[in-house]
């Protein structure tokens, strides 16, 4: 079996009396799209927070490409090759699309402790940003101020920012959140195109997207992974069905 790009061992996180992450074990195989599904309150966001480094686990370990990153800071993990997109859009609303992406490109492009030369002159940076805009389906919208974009376009930019970091593992937190049918299709196509080039851990509620995109599905319930496997296997798993009882997978 190929070496896991991400391996989680015994991850534990408690908030007061609540155990959000309950000695969780998980691994992500390189090149795959792995989906993480689970009912509300299962602890998906908390898990993503710990994987990305926004939250420090109480116990357990996280390995990225074999390297222990449990204590590594959020921004350092990006430099190691892991980036995240947010469920609630977190972009730079006052700046244009190309400026948004340029900032993300800038982060992995040498030191920004430069005080003299105008950023606007760095053509290579902006060329890369423009290419990224095209890749996430925002060609032609580069000079629109991000706050003025449609919701679907903002979600595309959201993924674009994570992509711009040249990450090898992307943690996508509900990229479909709030998207209509047409926009969802666009997002699915976008993610499909990424398959093979990078590894993706996709947290999603939209079952349609999950079963179309995922090579493998992990099911999270009450802070633990209760099942992992190919989509068809998961679809028929009784425990999974029980966990979702009353939680109809509402595809929009």
Partner 1 sequence: MRNRMVIGTLVLLLAFPLAAKHWDQLFYVSFASRILIYAVAASSLNLILGYGGMVSFGHAAFLGIGAYTVAILMEQGVSSAWVSWPLAVGVSALFALAIGAISLRTRGVYFIMITLAFAQMVYYLLISLRAYGGEDGLNLAERSQVGFGLSLANDLTFYYAVLALGVACLYLLRRLLNARFGQVVQAIRDNETRMEAIGFPTYRYKLICFVLAGGVAGLAGALLANQSGFVSPNLLQWTQSGTLMVMVILGGVGYLYGGALGAALFLVLEEVLSAYTLHWQLGLGLVLLAIVLYAHRGVAGLFDGRAAARRGADG
Choice from 6, 34, 50, 84 touching partner 1 (CB under 8 A): 84
Least separation in angstroms between residue 112's CB and partner 1 is 4
Within 8 A by CB and 6+ apart from 201, the residues are 6, 28, 34, 36, 51, 169, 170, 171, 172
- C-beta of 168 vs 224, nearer to partner 1: 168
* Among the listed residues 134, 196, 201, 132, the one whose alpha carbon sits nearest the alpha carbon of residue 161: 132
Strand boundaries in 1-77, DSSP class E: 6-15, 18-28, 33-37, 59-64, 67-68
Distance of CA 213 to the CA centre of its chain: 14
Choice from 4, 12, 29, 107 touching partner 1 (CB under 8 A): 107
Least separation in angstroms between residue 161's CB and partner 1 is 6
Which segment (23-31, 84-92, 201-209, 237-245) binds partner 1 by CB under 8 A?
Answer: 84-92
Least separation in angstroms between residue 211's CB and partner 1 is 28
Q: What are phi and psi for residue 183, nearest 5 degrees?
A: -65, -40
- Looking at residue 146, the DSSP 8-state letter turns out to be G
The SS3 assignment for 156 reads helix
Which residues 139-178 are close enough to bind partner 1 by CB under 8 A?
Answer: 161-162, 164-165
- C-beta of 73 vs 236, nearer to partner 1: 73
Q: Does 78 bind partner 1 (CB under 8 A)?
A: yes
Interaxial angle between packed helices 151-163 and 97-107, expressed in degrees from 0 to 180 and rounded to the nearest 10: 20
Choice from 86, 175, 217, 219 touching partner 1 (CB under 8 A): 86
Q: What are phi and psi for residue 9, nearest 5 degrees?
A: -125, 120
x/- site string to partner 1, residues 38 to 67, per CB under 8 A? --------------x-x-------------
- C-beta of 112 vs 189, nearer to partner 1: 112
């Amino acid at each position: 079996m190929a070496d896991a790009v991400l391996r989680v061992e015994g991850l534990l996180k408690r908030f007061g009396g609540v155990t959000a992450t309950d000695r969780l074990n998980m691994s992500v195989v390189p090149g795959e799209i792995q989906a993480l599904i689970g009912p509300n309150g299962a602890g998906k966001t908390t898990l993503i927070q710990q994987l990305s480094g926004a939250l420090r686990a109480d116990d357990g370990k996280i390995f990225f490409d074999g390297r222990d990153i449990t204590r590594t800071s959020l921004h350092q993990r990006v430099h190691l090759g892991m980036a995240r997109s947010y469920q609630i859009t977190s972009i730079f609303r006052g700046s244009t699309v190309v400026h948004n992406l340029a900032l993300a490109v800038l982060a992995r492009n040498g030191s920004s402790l430069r005080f003299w030369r105008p950023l606007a002159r760095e053509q290579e940076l902006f060329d890369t940003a423009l290419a990224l805009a095209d890749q996430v389906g925002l060609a032609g919208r580069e000079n629109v101020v991000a706050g003025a974009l449609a919701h679907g376009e903002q979600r595309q930019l959201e993924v674009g920012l994570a992509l711009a970091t040249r990450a090898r593992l992307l943690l996508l937190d509900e990229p479909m959140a709030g998207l209509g049918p047409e926009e969802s299709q666009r997002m699915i196509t976008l993610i499909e195109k990424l398959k093979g080039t990078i590894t993706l851990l996709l947290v999603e509620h939209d079952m349609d997207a999950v079963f179309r995109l995922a090579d493998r599905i992990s099911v999270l319930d009450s802070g633990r992974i209760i099942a992992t496997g190919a989509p068809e296997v998961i679809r028929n798993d009784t425990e999974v069905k029980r966990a979702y009882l009353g939680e109809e997978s509402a595809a929009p």
